[in-house]
Amino acid sequence: MSTLQRLTDRGLAKPPRWLPGNVQYETIMGSVAYGVSSDTSDLDVYGWAIPPRDDVFPHLRGEVEGFGTPGPRFEQFQQHHIRDDDALGGRGRVYDVTIYGIVKFFNLAMENNPNILDSLFTPVNCVLHSTRVGNLVRENRRIFLHRGAWPKFKGYAYSQLHKIAIKAPQGRRAELVREHGYDVKFAYHVVRLLGEVEMILTEHDIDLQRNNEPLKAIRRGEWTEERLRVWCAEKESQLERAYAASTLPATPDEPRIRRLLLDCLEEHYGRLEGCVEDPDRAVSALRAIRAELERVRDIL
């Protein structure tokens, strides 16, 4: 049973009625997934679900692409600060839940969105729920990786670095600034993101917890802001070289990712006749027919 289903059954979450039973994958994100915190009282949960068939294929409900006002399509559900007072032996737990529709999730993964990629590379013990379809995507997660990860991750990392300089901290973050002189939470995300994209470019993989000791040190305030900025400048030069030398494809392998998406939908819905034209399958069928005709001709 998915986490969203449990929270919904208890009246704590309010998703669309169809959603809890169609969640295919859920995983813990945030500091727990990155190996920098053992406190599981607050959990960030990311996942994805497969919507009803006519949401993915709106022509089945009579929509004509480019004509009229399209009907609503599910992209994501978010509910934050869901408190389960009975969790952890009565100590309570707070959930922040984000569940994407499979099409939106695949698009973001194909763009190498850092949060979405991270959700596919979390440690196994962080995976809360995964169906056969969820397992299929996780097993094939590396097909989403390409060299476009570098500008995407760099953009996210430097946005965090920029926030250190301009964002007025509040609440717990203000305490961090008073204690350490700058927002170390933003700082650890900068180092984490640049470390991840280095693994993508050089190893074609992500281990979210490999570099957690420096991240812990940053959170403890052992890095000054000056040290962080010097490290970033040096790392950027290294990553530019890694980007140039990487053997990853420059852009996503869209046909292969599309094939995985269709396989997931077919596994969930059953056969997709009438839903989608699959040119790859049609070409394969024609080749098989041609081969059979040539075989029969040779016999005759």
User: Residues 55, 74: contact at Cβ < 8 Å?
Assistant: yes
User: Residues 176, 139: contact at Cβ < 8 Å?
Assistant: no
- Picking from 184, 189, 265, 273, the residue whose alpha carbon sits closest to that of residue 22 is 265
What CA–CA distance (Å, rounded) separates 82 from 112?
28
Structure tokens at 41: 């009282």
What CA–CA distance (Å, rounded) separates 241 from 258?
31
What is the average per-residue pLDDT within 18-27? 98
Please measure the distance between the N-terminal and C-terminal CA atoms of the chain and give it in whole angstroms: 58
User: Residues 276, 263: contact at Cβ < 8 Å?
Assistant: no
What is the average per-residue pLDDT within 134-162? 97
User: Residues 274, 60: contact at Cβ < 8 Å?
Assistant: yes
What are the strands, taking DSSP E only, across 38-195? 42-49, 76-84, 93-101, 127-130
| Burial classification of residue 11, based on how many CB atoms lie within 10 Å of its CB (0-12 exposed, 13-18 middle, 19 or more buried) | exposed
Give the pLDDT of residue 271.
Answer: 85
| More reliable by pLDDT, 224 or 289 | 224
User: Residues 226, 183: contact at Cβ < 8 Å?
Assistant: no
What CA–CA distance (Å, rounded) separates 80 from 74?
18
Query: Rg for the chain (alpha carbons), in Å?
Result: 23
Is 53 in a helix, a strand, or coil? helix
- The DSSP code for 15 is -
Is 100 in a helix, a strand, or coil? strand
User: Residues 29, 97: contact at Cβ < 8 Å?
Assistant: no
What is the average per-residue pLDDT within 125-132? 97
Give the pLDDT of residue 276.
Answer: 73
User: Residues 22, 269: contact at Cβ < 8 Å?
Assistant: no
What CA–CA distance (Å, rounded) separates 53 from 273?
12
Structure tokens at 155: 């953009």
- State the pTM of this model: 0.88
- The DSSP code for 85 is T
Mean pLDDT of the residues in the chain: 92
Q: 286: pLDDT confidence band, cut at 50, 70 and 90?
A: low
Structure tokens at 222: 């052992």
Q: Which of 4-18, 109-123, 174-188 has the lowest mean pLDDT?
A: 174-188
User: Residues 106, 257: contact at Cβ < 8 Å?
Assistant: yes
Give the pLDDT of residue 169.
Answer: 77
Helix axes 184-203, 149-166, angle to 10 degrees: 170
Q: Residue 300: CB partners within 8 Å, gap ≥ 6?
A: none
**Is the pLDDT score of 292 beyond 80?**
no
Give the pLDDT of residue 291.
Answer: 67
Q: Other C-beta atoms within 10 Å of 153: how many?
A: 24
